[in-house]
Amino acid sequence: MALIVQKFGGTSVGSTDKIKAVAQRVLKNHRQGNRMVVVLSAMSGETDRLTGLALAMQHIPDQREMDMLLATGEQVTVALFAMAIKEMGADAVSLLGDQVAIRTDNMHTKARIHSVDPDLINKHLDRGKIVVIAGFQGVTDSGDITTLGRGGSDTTAVALAAAMRADACEIFTDVEGVYTTDPNVCPQARKIDYISYDEMLELASLGAKVLDIRSVGLAKRFSVPVHVRSTFSENIGTWVVEEDKIMESMLVSGITYSKNEARITIKQVPDQPGIAAKVFLPISDAGILVDMIIQNTTDGRLTDMTFTVLRRDYDRAMELLKKVAADIGAQAVSGDESIAKVSIVGVGMRNHPGIASTMFQILAKEGVNMMMVSTSEIKVSCIIAEKYTELAVRALHDAFALDKDNLPAEEAE
């Protein structure tokens, strides 16, 4: 008898017929003797509908009340799902985040989980019930409902699996698993059978949308094996596991891209201690994330600073930095929203030098200019003109032979 946590997203439970189909799938596992905990998102489109209602009431909705509103989406889904299970002859109980004591901080609309109390869930499981839990939501110590932000149901599922020491956490979605790159951009993209937590963390942070980055971080911290698979087939998907459980490490496991980037340059900044803090502190205080940073010394006294932010934060960042530039005596601030970030990721890069130079050669051969570069132990990211994104992804995917296992030469022989 295994304890399995399964999470189904909004597209998987987007209608009553789909809810019934998912219920049948869960019930099949339950009748095989498994203890089943099911985490559900709101039905597809429901969160957007509720957000629209909020905006009709208040220009900038109060975040506490927004959480109260958005949490109702999952409440509908779990109740309907429990009804479907009962109609099929089994027993189920639906529970909300506050009922299972998913404790979070006070950051409304993007709360972080502090703890989970599995006692109530275990009591229902011991009585033979399928336990259905609303994803995406929790409760503060003072009793306020919170939501976890985009991708929050993934995080709920992994947190529950960690707290209950589940045998597996299965994340069901509308794709077959994690692919070497976006199949919509590169038809030769291949489903990955196994990927390490570190690789998945990098892919999630660099634009891959299959798993929420916080859920991967939790899975790594508590060694929760995560199985990403399709709701609409029985095929095996992608296992996200510890690196030592993967037989071989490919040189490059995946290629991802993000068009949600903008580049900002502050020109002729005084090159002296404390200036960088004056530049980036207002950005940080405004809640704007900075990614790549490059500083070039020109004549020993002045320098140019270039960095990237999310495109949605570009206008706010530019407004703040024009004031900063005036205060520190910089010459000007310029920006560019027509950029993209393309990245290669693979734990096999740790012990094989030359991967970055190979990437640069491939892009140069295609006439793609690199504006900025950032590296870590297992990834290389380049900022390029947005119009070359698809070309760059396809060229890199082909050159690193991601349509088949690209093992290091001595291992592949």
Q: Please tell me the predicted confidence (pLDDT) of residue 245.
A: 63
The Cα–Cα gap between 413 and 407 comes to: 9
Let me know if 73 is exposed, middle or buried by CB neighbors in 10 A (0-12, 13-18, 19+).
buried
Using CA atoms, how far apart are residues 322 and 261, in angstroms rounded to an integer? 19
Q: State the 10-residue block means of pLDDT for the chain, 413 residues long.
A: 94 95 96 97 95 94 95 97 98 96 93 94 97 96 93 94 95 90 90 91 82 91 94 91 69 90 92 88 88 78 90 91 91 93 89 87 95 90 95 93 61 37
Please give the pLDDT value at position 411: 41
Question: Measuring CA to CA, how many Å separate 67 from each of 188, 211, 229, 297, 337?
Answer: 41, 22, 29, 47, 32
Structure tokens at 248: 């071989």
The region that residue 392 occupies, defined by phi over 0 for left and psi between -120 and 50 for alpha, beta otherwise, is alpha
Residue 387 φ then ψ, to 5° = -65, -15
The total number of residues written for the chain in this structure:
413
CA-CA distance, 14 to 22, in Å (whole number)? 11
* 181 token code pair: 């790159």
Pairing relation of β-strands 35-40 and 92-95? unpaired
Listed residue (373, 265, 343, 264) closest to 311, CA to CA: 264
- 145-147, strands of its sheet edge to edge: 113-116, 102-104, 137-139, 145-147
Q: What span, in angstroms and rounded, lies between the C-alpha atoms of 361 and 339?
A: 20
**C-alpha distance from residue 129 to each of 34, 35, 39, 85, 316 (Å):** 11, 8, 14, 10, 50
Q: What pLDDT score was predicted for residue 297?
A: 66
Residue 249: the pLDDT is 61
Starting at the earlier edge strand, list the strands of the sheet with 238-241.
Answer: 92-95, 130-134, 35-40, 3-8, 168-173, 226-230, 238-241, 194-196
What is the predicted pLDDT for the residue at 89?
96
Q: Cα–chain-centroid distance for residue 140? A: 23
Q: For 52, list phi and psi in degrees, rounded to 5.
A: -60, -40
Question: Cα separations (Å) of 266 from 262, 318, 333, 384?
Answer: 14, 10, 5, 19
Q: In what order do the strands lie in the sheet with 332-345?
A: 290-297, 302-310, 254-270, 332-345, 379-385, 372-376
Nearest to 231 by CA among 402, 21, 376, 75: 21
Q: What is the SS3 assignment for 386?
A: helix
What residues does 294 pair with on adjacent strands?
306
Nearest C-alpha neighbor of 182 from the set 154, 210, 205: 210
Beta bridge partners of 79: none
Sign (positive or negative) of CA dihedral 80, 84, 86, 91: negative
